[in-house]
Amino acid sequence: MTRKIWVFDTTLRDGEQVPGAKLNLYEKVEVAKQLKKLQVDIIEAGFPASSTGDFNAVMEVAKQVGNTSDIMITALARAVKQDIDAVYNSVKYANNPMIHIVLGTSDIHVEKKFNKSKDQILQIGVDAVKYAKTLTNEVQYSTEDASRSDFEYLWSTIEAVMKAGATMINVPDTVGYAEPQEFGEMIYKLNDRMKNLNDKVLLSVHCHNDLGMATANTLAAVKNGADKVECTINGIGERAGNAALEEVVMAMITRDKVYGAQTNINAKEIMNTSRLVSSFMGLDVQVNKAITGDNAFAHSSGIHQDGLLKSRDAYEIISPTAVGLDDMELVLTARSGRHAVKNALEKLNLDLTAEQFEGVFENFLTLADAKKEVYNHDLYVLVEDYFKKHNMATETTYSDYFYEIEDLQVISNSIFPSASVKLRKGEAIIKHSASGSGPIAALYTAITEMTEIETKLVEYNISSVSRGKEALGKVKIQVAYEGETYLAKATHTDIMMASAMAYINAINTIIVEKMMPETATV
């Protein structure tokens, strides 16, 4: 039988502990609404005692998102009356409020942090739970630093707080010290004892990623009886972060026979949630991050691309559509082979003879060696160049459709930010200037007015690819056009040039998908 695993999302509490990731009230509510669409069971919305801003944000999440019976809203408190009151007074507006109390159980915490005896700390925990129970029925108790605690003391604490009324026991690997086998064994023993005492109390885990094992430890706990997992979107959180919700959930779906457990998560909302959190918190997702990284479903090497074209399961264990992406991406690079390039040409209706293909492929490799990625609009131009070189007539001049940047100048000031841009479209040269509220707005306005393709810039993201003065700027954008979104990127030492190139890549992609004539055959 498949067990149900509860998902407790702590993106808005532990995730928000990432330096610089603080969200305002509006942003917290928006993320919480998206977490509800993702169908998490519990949202930990913050730490209300820490500031008035966070108290109000938690209260707003409780009111606006906790207003239905399918979700529980909680927030964190130390084992301190004032913190517990702050949690209660903010989460009480939810249909299902819960108070979450944390207190350490390891010798390090008891002796060095609190300078108290084990009995004193245990009593403080019990009193905190008893007090919280006078306010709400649902109370979770977290035994901070559980994985470095003396097992019998950890158990005495859990037993005592369960008797005091805790409805969920959360066992944290606070400093990411645990190892899957060892952590699994600890959870097995705790589960056994807990179920004997009161089988209605849920056993939960909260794992950190200091040794890169947060997901593995969480899944080991699931295998060994844990009922609930605490996670964050994109694995963000204090220091090296927490177990990533998308990894834990997709592992249970993909390896269902191993875990025999499932969550209620609507996996198709994973990418939307990841992008929203990344954009609001200003935290880029590492490109190779499992499930939500840019390259998680992108294949770039010839042998893999060939294998995928023959049978998807050769190199794919999860369909990208399962997490809300359109499809896998075959990125054309200098490591691509003939099968992938032929497939891309065929998709564009560019049917070539074997001899023509070999000629185009040779030129493709030369271009790919010079560029990081070859786009569909580059393929059109490669085919056209081949035909021109071999004095063959073409019905359509493809390069007449696409834009290339020849030059640009951007003036950034607080009075009148402006941009002058020179574009090439086939043989034609177009020049234009525009102003805007900032340099990027001016640049993108100039290009929009020249190309007459009205897009909406949904996201603009710039990062440095390397260190130092010569660092390359990498620009990633998302634009909307006629109800669809297009992602594009570009890299250049000049960040304005990288910004313009990314935008032109998006424009050319829109042209390929929406504006190339059906009859565009060679």
Ligand X SMILES: CC(=O)SCCNC(=O)CCNC(=O)[C@H](O)C(C)(C)COP(=O)(O)OP(=O)(O)OC[C@H]1O[C@@H](n2cnc3c(N)ncnc32)[C@H](O)[C@@H]1OP(=O)(O)O
User: What is the Cα–Cα distance from 57 to 481, expressed in whole angstroms?
Assistant: 34
User: At CA 306, angle to CA 300 and CA 307, rounded to 5?
Assistant: 100
Nearer to ligand X, 23 or 512 (CB): 23
Among the residue ranges 43-51, 245-253, 424-432, 477-485, the one whose residues contact ligand X (CB under 6 A): 43-51
The verdict on whether residue 299 carries a ligand-binding annotation is no
Q: Residue 181 in 3-state DSSP?
A: helix
Residue 206 site contact among ligand KIV, ligand X, none (CB < 5 to 8 Å, cut-off depends on kind): ligand KIV
Check residue 374 for interaction with ligand X (CB under 6 A). no
Nearer to ligand X, 47 or 131 (CB): 47
Nearer to ligand KIV, 37 or 81 (CB): 81
Q: Is 92 exposed, middle or buried (0-12, 13-18, 19+ CB in 10 A)?
A: middle
**Using CB under 6 A, which residues numbered 131 to 150 contact ligand X?**
144
Strands 473-481 vs 484-492: parallel, antiparallel or unpaired: antiparallel
Check residue 239 for interaction with ligand X (CB under 6 A). no
CB of 272 vs ligand X, minimal distance in Å: 27
Among the residue ranges 167-175, 185-193, 246-254, 435-443, the one whose residues contact ligand KIV (CB under 6 A): 167-175
The verdict on whether residue 242 carries a ligand-binding annotation is yes
DSSP 8-state symbol, 472: P
User: What is the Cα–Cα distance from 100 to 87, expressed in whole angstroms?
Assistant: 8
Q: Which residues pair with 430 in a beta bridge?
A: 423
452: Cβ contacts below 8 Å, ≥ 6 apart:
none
Strands 473-481 vs 456-464: parallel, antiparallel or unpaired: antiparallel
CB of 201 vs ligand X, minimal distance in Å: 20
Nearer to ligand KIV, 45 or 447 (CB): 45
Among the residue ranges 47-55, 326-334, 411-419, 456-464, the one whose residues contact ligand X (CB under 6 A): 47-55
DSSP 8-state symbol, 445: H
Check residue 16 for interaction with ligand X (CB under 6 A). no
Check residue 158 for interaction with ligand KIV (CB under 6 A). no
Considering only residues 7, 8, 14, 233, which one is a binding residue for ligand KIV as defined by CB under 6 A? 14
Considering only residues 22, 25, 33, 50, which one is a binding residue for ligand X as defined by CB under 6 A? 50
Among the residue ranges 166-174, 322-330, 440-448, 451-459, the one whose residues contact ligand KIV (CB under 6 A): 166-174
**Using CB under 6 A, which residues numbered 61 to 90 contact ligand KIV?**
76
Nearer to ligand KIV, 158 or 453 (CB): 158
Q: What's the CA dihedral at 382, 386, 389, 390 to 10 degrees? A: -170
Q: Burial code of 23-57, b = ≥16 C-beta within 10 A, e = fewer?
A: beeebbbbbbebbbebebbbbbbbbbbeeeebbbb
Considering only residues 36, 148, 206, 492, which one is a binding residue for ligand KIV as defined by CB under 6 A? 206
Considering only residues 83, 144, 269, 378, which one is a binding residue for ligand KIV as defined by CB under 6 A? 144
Q: How many residues bind ligand X (CB under 6 A)?
A: 15
Q: Which residue is nearest to ligand KIV (CB)?
A: 172
Residue 269 site contact among ligand KIV, ligand X, none (CB < 5 to 8 Å, cut-off depends on kind): none
Strands 42-44 vs 456-464: parallel, antiparallel or unpaired: unpaired
Strands 6-9 vs 403-411: parallel, antiparallel or unpaired: unpaired
Check residue 149 for interaction with ligand KIV (CB under 6 A). no
User: What is the Cα–Cα distance from 330 to 207, expressed in whole angstroms?
Assistant: 34
Nearer to ligand X, 53 or 426 (CB): 53
Q: What are residue 330's phi and psi, to 5 degrees?
A: -100, 105
SS3 letters across 104-144: ECCHHHHHHHCCCCHHHHHHHHHHHHHHHHCCCCCEEEEEE
Check residue 123 for interaction with ligand X (CB under 6 A). no
Considering only residues 90, 96, 174, 448, which one is a binding residue for ligand KIV as defined by CB under 6 A? 174
Q: Where are the alpha helices (DSSP H) in 313-405?
A: 338-347, 354-370, 376-389
Q: Which residues pair with 75 in a beta bridge?
A: 99
CA distances from 516 to 158, 327, 332, 400, 511 (A): 66, 22, 20, 10, 6
Q: Which pair of structure tokens corresponds to residue 57? A: 């944000």
Residue 142 site contact among ligand X, ligand KIV, none (CB < 5 to 8 Å, cut-off depends on kind): ligand KIV
CB of 242 vs ligand X, minimal distance in Å: 10
CB of 172 vs ligand KIV, minimal distance in Å: 3
The verdict on whether residue 390 carries a ligand-binding annotation is no
Residue ranges at the known binding site: 14, 206, 208, 242
Residues of this chain that interact with ligand KIV (CB under 6 A) are 14, 76, 102, 142, 144, 170, 172, 174, 206, 208
Q: Which residues are known binding-site members for Mn(2+)? A: 14, 206, 208, 242
